[in-house]
C-alpha cells in the first residue's frame, strides 16, 4: 500500500493506493473516528460486485451500513437521482454523526459527495473509486456536483472527503471502454504538468492495456500526487487548479451536445485535449510534433481524437454557458509543448471554432 496526504490544514486527508485495500475500509473508518451509521452509495453495476464486501468490513469494525443504489451512467447525474440518494440517507436514519461511502466511478463520487456536502448541511464522506478515471482524478480534490440539461457540473460544491481508498483490483472488472476512458485523465497530467509521466505512459502502453497492477499503481499514485499538490495550492480553483481542466472545455461541450452518456467523460476529454493542443499550436505555444505525439498516444490507447459534427452555433452556445466563462471570455488551458501549460482567456469563440475545424 502507498499513502499520500492532501495537505489542507484541519481538512487534510490521506489517499491510500494499492491492491487488496477494500477489506480494510472498516478499520480505516474506525481510525478516522466516524459515526455509527454508514451509507454505502453505489450504482447498479458496482454494487453487486463490491458493496457486500465493503458492508462486511464496516460491520466487522462496529458500523451499521445501509445501501443506497442509483442507476449507472452519466445520464443519471441529475437532481432526480440526487433526491434518490437523499431519500436513502433519510430512510437509513443518518444523522450528523453518520457518514457516506462513495463506492463507484466519477458519477457516484461526485453525486455522493454532493449529497454528503448538503445533507443536514454536511456530513463526512469517504471516496472509494472503482474506475481508473475516478482513481486518478475525480476522487481527489473535493469537487462534487450534478449536471444540468444546459451544462455539465453547473451545480455543485467544493467538499473534501475524509479519505480516498484506491484498490486497483477493482479495475479487473471494469469494462474496457470505461478503463480506456480513464487513460485520458492520466495523459492529461502528463501533457500539462509532467513530461516524464507522459513519456512513461508512452513506454508502458502495452502494460497499461494489459492492466498490469504494478504499473497501474505507480502511475495512479503519481497522478494523485500531482493533483494533491495542485489542490493544496488552489483548493477552490481560483487560479492554478484550472490547469486540471485541460481538454475539459471542449470535452464538456461534446458531452452536452451529444447527450450525456453518448461519450464517456474520458473519451470527451481526449477529444478536447486534441483541440486544445491545436489551439496551442495556433497560438505558438506548441509545435506540430507535439500535437502529433498527443494524438498518437491517445490513439494507441484506443481513445477518440476527432470532434463530432454539430453546428457552430450549437458549440458556441454551450461554450459560453461553461462554468469557466467570465466577463473577459472563456478560460482555456493550453499546453506549452509537452509537460507545461499556459492559461488564456479567449473572448472570440469564432477563433476556437475555426482552429478546431467546426463549420456552420
Instruction: Return d(Cα 210, Cα 213) in angstroms, integer.
Output: 9
| Residue keyed to cell 480494510 | 24
> Residue length, the chain?
360
Annotated binding residue at 106? yes
- Using alpha carbons only, give the angle 248, 76, 326 rounded to the nearest 5 degrees: 35
Instruction: Return d(Cα 53, Cα 112) in angstroms, integer.
Output: 19
Q: Are strands 163-167 and 325-326 parallel, antiparallel or unpaired?
A: unpaired
- Comparing CA positions, the residue from 316, 306, 305 lying closest to residue 360 is 316
Residues 330/245, Cβ–Cβ less than 8 Å = no
Annotated binding residue at 336? no
Annotated binding residue at 176? no
Annotated binding residue at 282? no
Annotated binding residue at 3? no
Annotated binding residue at 306? no
Annotated binding residue at 130? yes
SS3 content of the chain, % helix, strand, coil (to 5): 50, 20, 30
Annotated binding residue at 107? yes
Catalytic positions are 121, 143, 185, 227, 237, 241, 245, 248, 252, 265
Annotated binding residue at 170? yes
Bridge partners (DSSP) listed for residue 69: 42
| Residue keyed to cell 440517507 | 89
Annotated binding residue at 350? no
Collapsed DSSP state (helix, strand, coil) of residue 340: strand
- Comparing CA positions, the residue from 100, 107, 97, 116 lying closest to residue 157 is 116
Annotated binding residue at 148? no
Q: Is the dihedral of CA 158, 30, 225, 277 positive or negative?
A: negative
Annotated binding residue at 72? yes
Annotated binding residue at 341? no
Annotated binding residue at 73? yes
Binding residues: 72-77, 106-110, 130-131, 143, 152, 170-173, 185, 248, 265
Binding residues for Zn(2+): 185, 248, 265
Binding residues for NAD(+): 72-77, 106-110, 130-131, 143, 152, 170-173
Amino acid at each position: 500500500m502507498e499513502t499520500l496526504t492532501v495537505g489542507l490544514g484541519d481538512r487534510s486527508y490521506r489517499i491510500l493506493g494499492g491492491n487488496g485495500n477494500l477489506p480494510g475500509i472498516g478499520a480505516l473508518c474506525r481510525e478516522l473516528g466516524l459515526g455509527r451509521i454508514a451509507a454505502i452509495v453505489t450504482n447498479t453495476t458496482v454494487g453487486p460486485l463490491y458493496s457486500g464486501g465493503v458492508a462486511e468490513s464496516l460491520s466487522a469494525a462496529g458500523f451499521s451500513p445501509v445501501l443506497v443504489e442509483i442507476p449507472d451512467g452519466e445520464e443519471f447525474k441529475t437532481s432526480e437521482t440526487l433526491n434518490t440518494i437523499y431519500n436513502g440517507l433519510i430512510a437509513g436514519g443518518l444523522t450528523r454523526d453518520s457518514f457516506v461511502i462513495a463506492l463507484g466511478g466519477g458519477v457516484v463520487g461526485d453525486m455522493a459527495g454532493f449529497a454528503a456536502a448538503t445533507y443536514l448541511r454536511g456530513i463526512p464522506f469517504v471516496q472509494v473509486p472503482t474506475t481508473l478515471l475516478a482513481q486518478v482524478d475525480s476522487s481527489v480534490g473535493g469537487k462534487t456536483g450534478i449536471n444540468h440539461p444546459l451544462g455539465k457540473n453547473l451545480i455543485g460544491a467544493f467538499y473534501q472527503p475524509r479519505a480516498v481508498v484506491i484498490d486497483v483490483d477493482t479495475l479487473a472488472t471494469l469494462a474496457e471502454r470505461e478503463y480506456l476512458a480513464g487513460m485520458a485523465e492520466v495523459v492529461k497530467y502528463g501533457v500539462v504538468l509532467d513530461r516524464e509521466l507522459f513519456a512513461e505512459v508512452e513506454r508502458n502502453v502495452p502494460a497499461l492495456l494489459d492492466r498490469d497492477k504494478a504499473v497501474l499503481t505507480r502511475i495512479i499514485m503519481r497522478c494523485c500526487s500531482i493533483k494533491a499538490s495542485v489542490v493544496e495550492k488552489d483548493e477552490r480553483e481560483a487560479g492554478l487548479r484550472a490547469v486540471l481542466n485541460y481538454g475539459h472545455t471542449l470535452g464538456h461541450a461534446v458531452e452536452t451536445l451529444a447527450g450525456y452518456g453518448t461519450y464517456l467523460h474520458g473519451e470527451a476529454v481526449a477529444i478536447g485535449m486534441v483541440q486544445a493542443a491545436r489551439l496551442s499550436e495556433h497560438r505558438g505555444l506548441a509545435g506540430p510534433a507535439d500535437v502529433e505525439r498527443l494524438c498518437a498516444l491517445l490513439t494507441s490507447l484506443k481513445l477518440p481524437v476527432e470532434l463530432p459534427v454539430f453546428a457552430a452555433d450549437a458549440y458556441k452556445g454551450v461554450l459560453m454557458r461553461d462554468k469557466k466563462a467570465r466577463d473577459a471570455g472563456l478560460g482555456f488551458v493550453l499546453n506549452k509543448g509537452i509537460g507545461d501549460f499556459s492559461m488564456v482567456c479567449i473572448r472570440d469563440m469564432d477563433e476556437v471554432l475555426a482552429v478546431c475545424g467546426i463549420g456552420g
